Amino acid sequence: MAAPQTVQAVRRWILTGSVAAITVTGALYGADLKSSYEKTQAQKRIATISADEKIAHYQSLIEEWERTKKELERKLENFQAKKRGEQSKLHTTGFYVAEAHLVLVAKTHRLGNESGSVNIRFHR
């Protein structure tokens, strides 16, 4: 026959494990409910906006993707130039440099690095 303290210890461990399992299950279920609710709200919001607003939203997304594409192409070009041992090539138009500066500042701000500095060189 098992000692009374051993039986109590086993019961305590079973109860503790059960409470932990119930808590984890509730947290996961609640997170699933929240994400489902947010998805439903997003679908309702999309259904209620007008076609002009949808077009404007998609155009802004396209512009953002084009800026990202230009930035990545510039980085690839600089990387390939460094790999060949050449001087890095930067675009000389003021608009593009200002655009690259805004993108870099936005990225450093999103990362929480408010003191991050960005150096941009102008070549004529």
Residue 21 lies in a domain: yes
Q: Which residues contact 54 (CB under 8 A, 6 or more apart)?
A: 46
Residue 75 lies in a domain: no
What digits encode the pLDDT tens for the residues 13-24? Answer: 999 999 999 999
What digits encode the pLDDT tens for the residues 18-56? Answer: 999 999 999 999 999 999 999 999 889 888 888 899 899
Residue 23 lies in a domain: yes
Residue 31 lies in a domain: yes
Dihedral, CA of residue 11, residue 13, residue 14 and residue 19, to nearest 10: 120
Residue 12 lies in a domain: yes
Domain that holds residue 6: 1-48
Residue 16 lies in a domain: yes
Q: What is the pTM of this model?
A: 0.38
Which sign, positive or negative, has the C-alpha torsion 50, 55, 60, 65? positive
pLDDT at residue 79 above 70?
yes
Residue 3 lies in a domain: yes
Please give the tally of structural domains in the chain: 1
